[in-house]
Amino acid sequence: MLALSGIRKTFHPGTVNEVRALQGVDLAIDDGSFVVVLGMNGSGKSTLLNAVAGSFLVDEGTIELAGRTVTRWPEHRRARLIGRVFQNPFSGTAPNMSIAENFALASRRGFPRGLGWALSPKLMKPLRERIASLKMGLEDRLDNVIGSLSGGQRQALTLLMATWLRPALLLLDEHTAALDPKSADQVITLSEEVIRRDRLTTLMVTHSMQQAVSLGDRIVMMHRGRILHDIRGAEKQRLRPEDLLDRFEEVRRREQLDEGAARMLNDLYI
């Protein structure tokens, strides 16, 4: 379904701000699997998601999605295959347009937009039903601008918009990190429900150990632009948050040792 091989990306190469965000990532994801990407700040997990979405073109490597090589495709072309929810609840919706208009836009994801009416009756009926199923009371406010809603409501709507047309791949970029705990729970429940119902292939970035353990069928741990651990199957099912913390601790210790060793060598020989 999704196959990344040898992905490398360096931002601001050759300057003091050089960041080697991805340093050779290989990852293959099966159809219908739900992969959680876990990592500390700066580990490259969000960069990986953006590379798949096409926010930038990678320096090296190839990206295949749904049988097509999309490495050189611009972001808006990949959107035909990808549904996306951002970390920032404000990023996924147009604030000054109505709920209905936002969904009208989502209902044409990846399709040419012509001179047909955006708000067709064909869209409105299923839209009202689907939004009613959120039980947020939004079905009677379809003409209200989205900017008047709370972050949690906007994120729930963004998720529905991203999956309104079944995407080949769903990208969730820490999509509950900016929400209060109650809204975050609601959005996570909704995500699980949608992903299970439509059997969506999903790549979700998070830094919540709890989410990583309870969601999905595979965990990819990233560190310094590389994939460090790839946990799946029975091992994933058995995993507890403490096990993940142990693995992070292990990484941290090894790094300290490396730094210490480097300093020692520096002191001795230079």
Partner 1 sequence: MTLLIGALIIGLILSLLALGVLVSFRVFSMPDITTDGSITLGAAITASLLVKGVNPLLATALGALGGATAGAVTGILHTQFKINALLAGILVMTALYSVNLHVMGRSNVPLMQTRTLASHGERLGESLFQGPTVNLLGWTVPSGDAALPGLALLFVVGCALVMYAFFRTQLGTAMRATGDNAQMIRALGSNVERNIILGLALANGLVALSGALLAQYQGFADAQMGIGMVVWGLASVIIGEALTGARSLGLTLAGTIIGSVLFRLLVAIALRWGLNPNDLKLITALFVFAALVLPGLIHRLKPRTVVPA
Q: Contact between 182 and partner 1 (CB under 8 A)?
A: no
Type of residue found at 156: A
Answer for which of 12, 113, 182, 197 binds partner 1 (CB under 8 A) is 113
- Tokens representing 27? 């990852």
Distance between CA atoms of residues 127 and 140, nearest Å: 11
Answer for which of 28, 94, 132, 245 binds partner 1 (CB under 8 A) is 94
Q: Are 152 and 92 within 8 A, CB to CB? A: no
Q: Contact between 49 and partner 1 (CB under 8 A)?
A: no
Q: Contact between 137 and partner 1 (CB under 8 A)?
A: no
CB of 182 to partner 1, least distance (A): 13
Q: Contact between 12 and partner 1 (CB under 8 A)?
A: no
Nearer to partner 1 by Cβ, of 29 and 161: the residue is 161
Q: Contact between 72 and partner 1 (CB under 8 A)?
A: no
3-state class of 165 per DSSP?
coil
- Tokens representing 112? 């040419």
Nearer to partner 1 by Cβ, of 168 and 231: the residue is 168
Q: Burial level of 258, CB count in 10 A (0-12/13-18/19+)? A: exposed
Q: Of 198-227, which residues contact partner 1 (CB under 8 A)?
A: none
CB of 119 to partner 1, least distance (A): 7
In degrees and rounded to multiples of 5, residue 83 shows phi and psi of -105, 145
Answer for which of 39, 92, 216, 225 binds partner 1 (CB under 8 A) is 92
Q: Contact between 136 and partner 1 (CB under 8 A)?
A: no
130-168: b (≥16 Cβ within 10 Å) or e: ebeebebebbebbeebbeebebbbbbbbbbbbbbbeebb
Q: What are the residues whose beta carbons fall under 8 Å from the beta carbon of 215, sequence distance 6 or more? A: 34, 36, 188, 192, 204
Q: Contact between 170 and partner 1 (CB under 8 A)?
A: no
Point out which span in 98-106, 222-230, 232-240, 255-263 binds partner 1 (CB under 8 A).
98-106
Beta bridge partners of 128: none
Q: Give the Cα-Cα-Cα angle 49, 146, 97 (nearest 5 degrees).
A: 95
Point out which span in 6-14, 38-46, 116-124, 262-270 binds partner 1 (CB under 8 A).
116-124
Q: Contact between 121 and partner 1 (CB under 8 A)?
A: no
Q: Contact between 53 and partner 1 (CB under 8 A)?
A: yes
- Closest CA relative to residue 207, chosen from 196, 219, 194, 218: 219
Q: Contact between 84 and partner 1 (CB under 8 A)?
A: yes
The contact set with partner 1 (CB under 8 A) reads: 53, 74-77, 79-80, 82, 84, 86, 90-97, 101-102, 104-106, 108-111, 113-119, 150, 161-162
